[in-house]
Structure 1
Amino acid sequence: MTKTLTFKNEELAAIGNLLGTLSLKNKASRGRTKLIKLVSAKNDEYIEERKDVLEPFIKKDEAGNSVEGDTPGSVVLIEEKQDEATAAINEIDEESAVIEFTEYSEKMKALYDAIVDYSSEFSNQDAMAYDLLMDQLESAFENETEGTK
């Protein structure tokens, strides 16, 4: 049976950041490392998609180069198309990122078992990311738990 986790694209960075802060040992740590790699790959795809979608809305100079914004790495959008650009980005942000982890199922189960009663407290973005991650891990492993009862 295929095992997956599903997050919104805009949630990927927070999930990856949270995973990086957890103090884990052995198989749970290996599961975390595998999951970070999978989340990172999906996040890279998401960033590329955002760039591709924004391209038609970016203001260009006479040479055809993107006009840079005030902050490093940012660009200036064509003023008349800002609403359209925002709508396109919001659509990509809300799309589902499905992470298939069947081959790492044992390590993911160890990760789940290690963080289900994690002793440290979470706040703000980490608390929200923990809740999202746990919802997905619980869904992935609830059938196994029900099968052993």
Structure 2
Amino acid sequence: MTKTLTFKNSELSVVGNFLGTLSLKNKASRGRTKLIKLISAKNDEYNEDRKETLEPFIKKDEAGNNVEGDTPGSVVLIEEKRDEANTAINEIDNESAVIEFTEYSEKMKALYDVIVDYPTEFSNQDAAAYDLLMDQLEAVFENETEETK
């Protein structure tokens, strides 16, 4: 049976960053490392899609180069197309990123078993990321338990 986790594209980096803050050992740590790699690959796809989608809305200089914004790596959007660009980006941000992890199932189960009762309290963004991750892991591993009964 294929095992997957599904996040919105915009949630990928939040969950990946959160995973990196956890203090884990052994198989759970290896599960975290595999999951971070899978999330990172999906996040790279998302960033590439975002970049391609924004391209027609970016203001160009006389040489045809992108006009850079005030912050490093940012660009200036064509004023008349700003709403259209924001709509397109919101669509990509809210698309589902499906992460297939069947081959790492044992390691993911070990990760789940450790973080389900993680001894540290979470707040703010970490609490939200924990909730997102646990919703997905519970959906996979609690259904698995019910199927084996």
Shared fold by TM > 0.5? yes
What residue is the counterpart of 1:119 in the other structure?
119
Give, as a single letter, the amino acid of the residue that structure 2 aligns with 1:86: N
Distance 2:135 2:82 in 1: 35
SS at match of 2:99: strand
Runs of 4+ with deviation above 3 angstroms: none
CA RMSD of aligned residues (A): 0.7
1:15-54 alignment, distance < 5 Å = 15-54=15-54
How many residues in Structure 1 have an aligned counterpart in Structure 2?
149
What residue is the counterpart of 1:64 in the other structure?
64
Following TM superposition, by how much is the alpha carbon of 1:66 offset from its aligned partner in structure 2, in angstroms? 0.1
2:114 matches 1:95: no
Distance 1:38 1:98 in 2: 10
Distance 2:117 2:31 in 1: 16
Task: Percent identity, please.
Answer: 85
Distance 1:24 1:135 in 2: 20
Which runs of 5 or more structure 2 residues have no equivalent in the other structure?
A: none
SS at match of 1:45: helix
What residue is the counterpart of 2:130 in the other structure?
130
Following TM superposition, by how much is the alpha carbon of 1:62 offset from its aligned partner in structure 2, in angstroms? 0.3
Distance 2:59 2:11 in 1: 28
TM-score, normalisation: structure 2:
0.98
Following TM superposition, by how much is the alpha carbon of 1:148 offset from its aligned partner in structure 2, in angstroms? 4.2
Which runs of 5 or more structure 1 residues have no equivalent in the other structure?
A: none
Following TM superposition, by how much is the alpha carbon of 1:143 offset from its aligned partner in structure 2, in angstroms? 2.1
SS at match of 1:120: coil
